[in-house]
Homo-oligomer: A and B are copies of this chain.
Amino acid sequence: LSASPGRRIEVVAVEGIGEIGAGDPLGGMLAAAASPDSGDVLVVSQKAVSKAEGRTVALDSVTPGGEAMELGRSLGKDPRLVELILRESARIVRAERGVLIVETRSGWVCANAGIDASNVPGEGRVVLLPADPDASARRLRAEIESACGARPAVIVSDSFGRPWRLGQTDVAIGCAGIAPAEDWRGRADREGRSLAATVVAVADELAAAGDLVRPKDGGTPAALVRGAAHLVTGEDGPGAAALRRPADRDLFT
């Protein structure tokens, strides 16, 4: 099957990186393991980024406040975990039926502020999202360039649930070197009519594609996407923050 330029992408798991610890030079490790080119997109799991940034917390070190105690009781959740979720959150979106959906301080709406206990070494330790995932992506991009001279786009991805649909898909919570939304509005369709409402969240689609080659039992912190160089920019750009829907354009606040 042949295809025009830009119509073929390849997504490859980046393997051979061991357990990641606080302070590890993740950009250099990714550069060595993936050998990216400047037109590539490196999709890095949030968990790998958070571990390198030391964003893990021992639940035993957390003293839940009154709101966390109450919410923990009503939701059947560990109040120490709820306390961490509240600290990471700008607001609670839903708290019912055992589910706590919040808007994080970075502006992402997700369950449990993205805090997760899978694949974390040490009993009772959890991983928070990076404090500023766009800054994490920019920093990783710079570290990769320092290590190997190439400037691939970097996407920090996480698995989010969705309303109305079961299962999780990976989305971009941070990025650098890519315009996260590709805007076709105003361009003509094949009939010459203006395309009405087509903005493609390409950073989210790249994150989803990357997830397809990363098994969930750990050990694969990243995926390299080749063939999407038309989406990669020299500038770091606006980051995934550009994908946040303003509250006045959201019907599900």
Contact = CB atoms under 8 A, between A and B. Distances in A.
A92 B66 CA distance: 39
B216 A168 contact: no
Interface string A121-159: 100000000000000000000000000000000000001
Which among A165, A189, A202, A224 has the greatest number of chain B C-beta atoms within 10 A?
Answer: A165
Given A12-B7, A169-B200, A164 B252 contact: yes
Interface SS of A by simple majority:
loop
A109 B164 contact: yes
Tell me the number of copies of this protein. Answer: 2
Given A193-B117, A198-B216, A212-B228, A205 B170 contact: yes
Interface stretch (A21-29, A53-61, A238-246): A238-246
Given A196-B118, A216-B198, A167 B204 contact: yes
Interface of A: 1, 3-4, 6-15, 19, 34-35, 94, 96-97, 99, 101, 103, 108-109, 117-121, 159, 162-171, 180-181, 184, 187-191, 193, 195-196, 198-202, 204-206, 208-209, 211-213, 216-220, 224, 228, 242-245, 249-252
